[in-house]
Amino acid sequence: MASATEEFFDELGRRGHEPLVARVHGALRFDVAHRGKTDVYRLIIDGGHLTVSRDPGYADCVIRVDQTVLDGIVTGRMNAMAALLRGALAAEGDPEMMVIFQRVMAPPTPQAQRERITTVAGW
C-alpha cells in the first residue's frame, strides 16, 4: 500500500500545470527517511508546470524529513513551517521554496480538475 507521501507526489506529477505557482522556476528535493533508507522526490516547477522525479539532481532547496512527518504534512495534519520550526524537518537552500511548497500543497483549482477530467474522459 502506498504511503500518503507517495500518493501526494504521484498526484503532483499528474497535476501538470498549477496556476498558483505560474511565475515560479525552481526545484525542491525531498530526502525522505523511511525504515533506515532514504527515498528521494524531486519537484521541478517551470512556470507553473510541475514535474516529479526520483532523480537526486540539483535543487534550489533540499528538505530532509522523516516519512511520518511528511505524511502528516501532505495530509494536512501538520504544517510544514511549524515542522521546520520544531526541527521535525530540515531545509537547506532557498527559503522561499518552502513557501512555494506550501502553495503546491493546496488542492488543484476547480478549472485544473475539470481539465484533468476532460483529458481522462477524452471529451
pLDDT in tens, 94-105: 989 988 888 887
pLDDT in tens, 37-79: 999 999 999 999 999 999 999 999 999 999 999 999 998 888 8
Which domains does the chain possess?
4-121 (3.30.1050.10)
pLDDT in tens, 4-23: 999 999 999 998 888 889 99
Of 27, 21, 24, the C-alpha closest to 40 is: 27
In this structure, what DSSP letter does residue 47 have?
Answer: T
Cell triple for 35: 525504515
Side by side, which strands form the sheet with 61-66? 49-53, 37-46, 25-34, 61-66, 89-93
